Structure 1
């Protein structure tokens, strides 16, 4: 009989001899719209993004405060990057105090070839105060969005996303 328990955020099964067998990390599709869009920055922090592609989600708009979040908005569109990452990478990425309040929500990421795929998207459960605005973050986000090849009209609109 197998015992299941959590150790360091990875699943380990105990077989009858008491030896642990580590399960392979499952890849999760995630849509990023903030600074986490940059796979090089994620690699530099020890994360393992794969299958990186541009995408957009509809019926949302970008809202900037100290960081970015998505807000439901009929007719809205937010551009970003869709990629796959192991669950444990996502757990570690969102364990940082600056992003710990973000919660995963399902979205439909539309790809340039016309296809779409379900993805997780991390958003704040409550909106940032209208008076909260991190202009340094907005400038850095524009730089990352440009680097990732997002539409220039969208990159320019980031400055007004408050």
Structure 2
């Protein structure tokens, strides 16, 4: 579900109360763990964490006027979606995440290419999300993006 909110605060306040708490907690985990250089803003109608033009002037290849997206967080109809471009483009990071998730024994991982879906709000691995967020700097993401995606 795409939001018309113009700020993260507006996005959060428009969510149902139960989702506000969970999205708010994931958002704080991301803010606390993302390496310096990423910026939070609205991106594609979701909470977004991007590499700003000040660090990567080329922007996103699909629309260079946009900053380079890295992580998005959204309240979808039946789940909370965490979209992490690093696990989409880095097989080693994906493998680490899948193994780490399995070790938690909290159920089956529900995942697409870059989307991790959380359907059970009481089974969200906040600490693992924080660790995942900390694993790539903006410079790491730019290098991977240029070598794997922007060809």
User: What TM-score, normalized to structure 2?
Assistant: 0.25
Larger radius of gyration: 1
Q: Decide which structure has greater strand share.
A: 1
Q: Which has the higher helix share?
A: 2
